[in-house]
Amino acid sequence: MEKRDFVYEGKAKKVWTTSDPNLYVVEYKNSLTAFNALKKDTVEGKGRLNNLISASLFRYLSGMGVPTHFVELLDDLHQVVKKVAIVPIEVVVRNITTGTLCKRLGVEEGKTLPRPLVELYLKDDELGDPIITEDHALLFGWSTQEQLLRIKEITLKVNSLLSEYFLRLGIILVDFKLEFGIDSSGNLLLADEISPDTCRFWDRDTRNRLDKDRFRKDLGDVLGAYQEIWKRISSSGEKQ
């Protein structure tokens, strides 16, 4: 599978068409952004790690019955995915309070929630991805009721599968963001990426941050954290 025409460049990935009209090639970039790209940097090696981590997690989830866009890993920087129309909603799941949840609502940091909290954000960089309710999504046509129900069902399944998976690797899945898309047959698929750019991972024993918060908060050794996540995934025997 080879790249043909350039389609799109986002903050962390580039997308290309292929010889198959239903498939795209995604290239993972070394660029890191935070706070809606107000803060930017390039970290050599980050693209490779996110590509490998995301591919492994999508393969794991697909094997557990979650419908995903992932097709195959091509090389260190590229993977093949199904072409989808992205639903313009970012779905955030939180197991422990931190980040914008604490800033927005003034709730205490680091508290385990009694059940996962699911939040919806409008995927719109110009507006800074504002938080929305289900009613906003329905009334403005960003998704249908049926899609929202399915999105929540898949999201909670992914949360329980990945929380258990990472706990076996000594990592707490604090929160993460998912995106969904519709393929050419109308199927709703989990899309985008799942990586330390889009998840918060805390070491279970030390509570060390092993994700993009190292970049957001200038904690140092961003690449080392991503390498640690990949090391634990690749040596776990759970990689499929």
By CB under 6 A, tell whether 49 contacts ligand TMP: no
CB of 20 to ligand ASP, least distance (A): 29
Among 83, 177, 214, 232, binds ligand TMP (CB under 6 A): 177
The 3-class SS string of the chain reads: CCCCCEEEECCCEEEEECCCCCEEEEEECCEEEECCCCEEEECCCHHHHHHHHHHHHHHHHHHCCCCECEEEECCCCEEEEECCEECCEEEEEEEECCHHHHHHHCCCCCCEEEEEEEEEEECCHHHCCCEECHHHHHHCCCCCHHHHHHHHHHHHHHHHHHHHHHHHCCEEEEEEEEEEEECCCCCEEEECCCCCCCEEEEECCCCCECCCHHHHCCCCCHHHHHHHHHHHHHCCCCCC
Q: Which is nearer to ligand ASP, 71 or 192 (CB)?
A: 192
Q: Which of these ranges, 28-36, 85-93, 184-192, 217-225, lies near ligand ASP under the rule CB under 6 A? A: 28-36
Window 190-229: residues binding ligand TMP (CB under 6 A)? 198-200
175 binds ligand TMP (CB under 6 A): yes
Residue 208 Cβ vs ligand ASP, minimum distance, rounded to whole Å: 19
Give contact residues for ligand TMP (rule: CB under 6 A).
92, 99-101, 129, 175-177, 198-200
Give contact residues for ligand ASP (rule: CB under 6 A).
11, 33-37, 212, 216
